[in-house]
Amino acid sequence: MAFADTYFHRLMLDPLLIVELAILGLATGFLAGLLGIGGGMLIGPFMTIILSALGVSADLAVKMAIATSMATIMFTSISSVRAHHQRGAVRWDIVKGLAPGIVIGGAIASAGVFALLKGTALAIFFAAFVGFSATQMFLDKKPKPSRQMPGTAGQLAAGSLIGFLSGLVGAGGGFISVPFMVAHNVAILNAVATSAALGFPIALANTVGYVISGTDLPNLPPHSLGYVWLPALAVIASCSVLTAPLGAKMAHRLPVAKLKKIFAVVLYGLASYMLWKGLHG
């Protein structure tokens, strides 16, 4: 499908669209700091709606939404982790253990598998993944007291899986890494802070892959860099870095377990939308 560029540019400069992207950025930045997530679980569905309304095909809209949401995490994670690090909550030893695998898994997903899969298939996988993550957050299961973080090989394998799944759904990995760390008796506050630190290598590796795999694609909207839509990235990232430190600050004060259950309910709704998009797109 070919774009009517003048129509698309007019919509792209619509003040209402800018406000919508700004609100999305403020919300995801706050949640990134509060729960250690990159915001992709929120940005993905809403960006799919926005791009679809601008005339992007369903298949391409899903892929661009996932890629753009991942790109914003590079900025959000830096802002969030600084706030957590100042409070001594980041487990840098775990970051060191998981990061190499994350880069490997993310590169395989974003530069290879992502381009091969249809956007509708990714939407269905996204829905299933978010639904599972929401259930894990809602149940808040407690691990066995004796369970500890695995060794070097185990963390390399876990990091690869986290990076790979994150690359397919455009998430910062918090929905995998936080439950993984908590299941190995890392305190929830430390898990959230450490997940925020892991967001940067996840986002960097995957964004590079999205740009490479999306280069020279036909019918991309104006101002796209591979699968990444730069106007949305600029607005969302600019706003998310403002609220990420506030979310990190609140994480040290609020009952995060209760907030996670509320957020899980929201995720069920978003998962339902993406499932509908995948089945009918």
Neighbours of 60 (CB within 10 A): 21
For residues 175 and 233, give the distance between their C-alpha atoms in angstroms, rounded to a whole number.
22
Q: What is the dihedral of CA 35, 206, 159, 41, to 10 degrees?
A: 30
DSSP state of 110: I
Taking phi first (over 0 means left), then psi (-120 to 50 degrees means alpha), and beta for anything else, what does residue 185 get?
A: left
Provide the domain limits for residue 71: 5-280
Number of domains in the chain: 1
For residues 35 and 82, give the distance between their C-alpha atoms in angstroms, rounded to a whole number.
15
Task: Give the CA count within 13 Å in the CB-facing half-sphere of 259.
Answer: 16
**Closest to 199 (Cα-Cα) out of 167, 226, 231, 242:** 167
From first to last of its 281 residues, what are the pLDDT tens digits of the chain? 444 454 455 445 578 888 888 998 898 888 777 766 656 667 888 888 888 888 888 788 888 988 898 888 888 788 778 878 888 889 999 999 999 998 898 888 887 777 777 767 777 877 787 788 778 767 766 656 667 888 889 999 999 988 888 777 766 667 678 778 887 888 878 888 898 888 888 888 889 888 988 888 887 888 889 999 998 999 998 898 888 788 877 877 777 677 667 667 767 876 787 787 677 65
Beta-bridge partner residues of 228: 225
Angle, alpha carbons 90-105-221 (nearest 5°): 100
DSSP three-state, residue 224: strand
DSSP state of 216: T
Are 41 and 257 within 8 A, CB to CB? no
